Amino acid sequence: PIELEFCPVLGEKKQKAWVYKKVHEEVGKSFQLTKELLLRVCLLKIKEDEHVLIVVMHHLISDGWSLDIFFQEWSELYANYEDKSKRLIELPIQYADYVIWQREWLAQGELEKQLSYWREELSGIPELLSLPTDKVRPKELSYKGGIYSFE
């Protein structure tokens, strides 16, 4: 489901701030993996003929390859919105095909080969890697990152 929000009547500068605030709110929401879709779409209506589309997806359902396809198809649909006869070209390979190939490959003994290889490679490593830190590690992690720019 696409969520639709209407922008309050604001000056251009305040309008941009409102849009940025909405984008940050959407991006900042965590996904409840067991309760909701892993894709959120929000359409902000700025003016009668001006909209901002916010698409937020969990990394579990996206990678570089799938994002290329997603945006290519979205652009095609948008460009051909008026022409309902135009259809997307069906992809020759779907994710389900990859899953089937992967299962077949693993069923042919590859799983045991891979497990054996990694058990050998990782044997004897320490269970916990203790690195020196400049701060005391918090009892409860926040998982909030930050951006630090420098030249």
pLDDT in tens, the chain (151 residues): 667 777 777 788 888 888 999 999 999 888 888 888 899 999 988 888 888 899 999 988 888 888 998 999 989 988 888 887 888 888 888 888 989 999 999 999 999 999 999 999 999 998 888 888 888 878 888 878 788 888 8
For residues 100 and 96, what is the distance between their CA atoms, to the nearest angstrom? 6
For residues 71 and 55, what is the distance between their CA atoms, to the nearest angstrom? 11
Residue tagged 């849009």 (tokens): 19
- Kindly report the backbone phi and psi dihedral angles of residue 84, in degrees, each rounded to the nearest multiple of 5, phi listed first: -70, -10
For residues 19 and 65, what is the distance between their CA atoms, to the nearest angstrom? 28
